[in-house]
A and B are shown apart, each in its own frame.
Chain A
């Protein structure tokens, strides 16, 4: 690979950084060997081609009406916006990581390579990171469309590349703006959390969009009128389908935006890197007022909450986990048309219980200074009670708006569900205390080494309380009783298992 380009050139730097990036990812995720991996990726990509072929084949059998072309362009437009949304949510955290996390940047900046080249390469790395997955998913459809009578669809390739350049330029601009405004540490935090927020909006947006389309289709069918998509779908649809002026304009815009950002904003970038030398400096170097008011409870609560709040990596992981948990029930409501208030209750218990378990892991197992706590003149039981509260209170606070809405809709059900909710969060926190999982705050949440059985017990506990809530919402009292019994017995099994092993908490 090194021989493909002149050493020290922008292309050489890009190829090397991509290779390092790829190897780092491969090592950190313990993936299989490269041959097997590439074979797997290729097979999956070919399977996607087969799926796309099947889809187009079916649709061409039925697309006999006059609106087929309109629908085709509208679908292309939707795909364009989905791909752009997905690339945006990938590129913002990637921009924060590529531009301001030191790794090998010290070496690059100390080398005689120009800062412009470095910024171009970093930008292209962001482009590669953002475009890889959307391209992997979309290109089989483009290829099959081209093969089955729509060769102009090959224009999707330059459109995708130009969109990636445009979005990367936007992300870099946003990052540089944030750094100028907030300073490096806060900009990093913002980018990570915003990235997760974008994922949430994207996930929920796609679901809402699907719901709206279902309703719209029903209306169209009922009124027997032809559907006319708006310009926000037809313009990108035409572009993807190869309309020359639009295509050229869009590609030129993407390229110009990217070159403009890397050329004109180098000074801000280098100033930002200077700040990033000092990982704790903030742009607004204001004097902080420290408030640990006397009282053990406040002391413990504020310490735990500050540590959680100040860890953007952790926040984004928790956020991602919550989104993952919410996603399945949203689909359930959408697909099976279940009573929304009741499902809301089940979702909030399920999500809250598992979130409380994560926070309990942070405050108990991932305690950074157990020796300090153990040597302090504080009762261990008192510390445990306060830490338990520290894990649960944020979850309760997050659930307040949901319960307020439920209370407005069905007050008695809301009360019953709230009781189940407290039961779920308390049980899962207690389980983390009884069956601690070794780990540190700096490790990824997904890497916690909880045994399969312990994980199942947590899941059973949460599901038990959620079933209890379902019983309340649907007035099936036997179901409620069964749920509560499961929600109480499962943690007891966990406690029994925990008593049989060496206690792992350090305080």
Chain B
């Protein structure tokens, strides 16, 4: 579906569905996220959040529907569509026997960045994330938090326009989590689009401009925190109250 805007959406999902055998993991998902927006996708365990993000990142092929990143179809032109994208999976997948800068240069190479630029930018990112002292170490000696930071640095090295993060704060200490939240806020202010899933509702409440709630593979609510409060008819509740009210299963 072509919309009549001069600027394409950062991310547009139209009628996206995914089946695994007889299980419908995601069903008729429609999502439009503006450029420079901070969007949080929330949902209970097994709601289909990760499946959705994996389809956006090109890791899973949707059973139906269309996904466009900045106007490029992920299915039609995957390489062009993925160029402005960075995806951060829930489990940091790293190469244990690479050093952090080597990892960043490898990621940058995949996105076609010149080595010199990647090297300088990688060092800068590592220092900023507090990994500057560990340049000579192999990644498999890193703690979970350090690995998470490194994967985030990998996601940022090619300066993506759309950053997809699946539970980015899992396993981080308070200082590191704060650092990453500040970083994401700063990037959004600079024009980057961020889509994240999280179980830490406080993060979504503080950072996200719009929130989508997904359950049983369907988008059941979407909007600003204020509009979600109205949908949940809980005028002044926290996001946690709103979320629980919206996702509450009817008693059987």
- Give the B-binding residues of A (Cβ under 8 A): 278-282, 285-288, 290-296, 298-299, 303, 306-307, 310-311, 368-379, 441-442, 506
A291 touches B115 (CB 8 A): yes
Residues of B contacting A375 with CB < 8 Å? 57-59, 82, 85-87
Chain B positions within 8 Å of A295 at CB level:
109
A503–B177 alpha-carbon span in the complex (Å): 37
For residue B42, CB closer than 8 A to chain A, the reply is no
CB-CB under 8 A for A281 and B137, given A290-B119, A374-B58, A377-B83: yes
**When the two chains form their complex, are residues A370 and B112 in contact, meaning their CB atoms are under 8 A apart?**
no
Do A310 and B97 touch across chains, with their CB atoms under 8 A apart? yes
Known: A299-B109, A375-B82, A375-B87. 5 other contacts (CB 8 A): A282-B136, A369-B94, A373-B110, A374-B58, A377-B110
Smallest Cβ-Cβ distance to B97: which chain A residue: A310
Q: Which residues of A contact B99 (CB under 8 A)?
A: 288, 290
For B101-128 the 0/1 string (1 means CB < 8 A from A) is 1100111111111110011000000000
Report B-chain residues with C-beta under 8 Å of the C-beta of A282.
Answer: 136
Q: Contact: B136 with A292, CB < 8 Å?
A: no
Known: A371-B57, A377-B79. A290 touches B110 (CB 8 A): no
CB <8 Å contact, B109 and A296: yes
| Chain A residues with CB under 8 A of B79 | 377-379
List the B residue with the shortest CB-CB distance to A371. B89
With a CB–CB cut-off of 8 A, which chain A residues contact B83?
377
Interface residues of B (CB under 8 A from A): 54, 57-59, 78-83, 85-87, 89, 93-99, 101-102, 105-115, 118-119, 135-138, 140-141, 154
Q: How far is the CA of A290 from the CA of B115 in the complex (A)?
A: 9
Q: CA separation between A376 and B107, bound complex, in Å? A: 8
Contact B93 A377 (CB under 8 A): no
Q: Please, which residues of chain B bring their CB within 8 A of the CB of A368?
A: 93-96
Q: List 18 A-B contacts (CB under 8 A).
A: A278-B141, A279-B140, A279-B141, A287-B136, A288-B135, A290-B119, A292-B109, A292-B118, A294-B113, A299-B109, A306-B97, A306-B102, A311-B97, A368-B95, A371-B54, A372-B154, A375-B57, A378-B110
Majority SS at the chain A contact face? loop
CB-based nearest A residue for B164: A375
- CA A292 – CA B86 in complex, angstroms? 20
How many angstroms between the C-alpha atoms of A237 and B119 in the bound complex? 63
Q: Is the CB of A292 within 8 A of B115?
A: yes
Contact A371 B87 (CB under 8 A): yes
What separation, in Å, do the CA atoms of A287 and B112 have in the docked complex?
A: 25
Give complex CA distance A279, B80 in Å: 40
Known contacts: A303-B95, A369-B93. The answer to whether A377 contacts B138 by CB under 8 A is no
Please tell me if the beta carbons of A306 and B111 are within 8 angstroms of each other in the complex. no
Within the complex, the shortest CB–CB distance from B170 to chain A, in Å, comes to: 15
Task: List chain A residues, Cβ under 8 A from B81.
Answer: 377
Which single residue of chain B is at the shortest CB-CB distance from A309? B97
**Chain B residues near A296 (CB-CB < 8 A):** 109-110, 112
A371 touches B106 (CB 8 A): no
- Chain B residue nearest in CB terms to A369: B93
B59/A294 in contact, CB under 8 A:
no
Partner of B115, one of A294, A311, A369, A379: A294
Pairwise interchain contact B106-A280, C-beta atoms closer than 8 A: no
Can you name the residue of chain A whose Cβ is closest to the Cβ of B91? Answer: A371
CB of B93, distance to nearest CB on chain A (Å): 4
- List residues of chain A with CB within 8 A of the CB of B82: 375-377
| Contact in complex: A376, B114 (CB < 8 Å) | no
A307 CA to B137 CA in the complex, in Å?
14
Taking the nearest CB of chain B, how far is it from the CB of A193, in angstroms?
15
The one of A281, A372, A379 in contact with B107, judged by C-beta atoms closer than 8 angstroms, is A372
B108, B115, B118 — which one has the most chain A CB atoms within 10 A of its CB?
Answer: B115
Contact, CB under 8 Å: A372 / B93 = yes
**Lowest 4 CB-CB distances: which A-B pairs, in order?**
A299-B109, A280-B137, A310-B97, A376-B110
Q: How far is the CA of A298 from the CA of B94 in the complex (A)?
A: 19
Residues of A within 8 A of B98 (CB): 303, 306-307, 310
Closest B residue by C-beta to A380: B78
Closest chain B CB from A176 CB (angstroms): 22
B93 touches A371 (CB 8 A): yes
Which residue of chain B is the closest to A383 with respect to CB atoms? B110
Q: How far is the CB of A379 from chain B (nearest CB, A)?
A: 6
Shortest distance in angstroms between B78's beta carbon and chain A's nearest beta carbon?
Answer: 8
Compute how far the CA of A267 lies from the CA of B97 in the bound complex, rounded to whole angstroms.
Answer: 30
* Complex CA distance for A46 and B161, rounded to whole angstroms: 73
Is the beta-carbon distance between B106 and A299 smaller than 8 angstroms?
yes
Whether A292 and B102, one on each chain, are in contact in the complex, defined by CB atoms closer than 8 angstroms, is yes
Judge whether B119 and A374 touch: CB under 8 Å. no
Bound-complex Cα distance A441 to B93 (A): 13
Contact B59 A374 (CB under 8 A): yes
Q: Which of A279, A294, A306, A370 contacts B109 (CB 8 A)?
A: A294
Residue of A nearest to B77 (CB): A377
B76 to chain A, nearest CB (A): 14
Verify B97–A307 contact, CB threshold 8 A: yes
Cβ B110 vs Cβ A372 within 8 A = yes
Which of A285, A293, A310 is in CB contact (< 8 Å) with B136?
A: A285
Q: Which residues of A contact B135 (CB under 8 A)?
A: 288
The interface residues of chain A lying within 8 Å CB-to-CB of B78 are 377
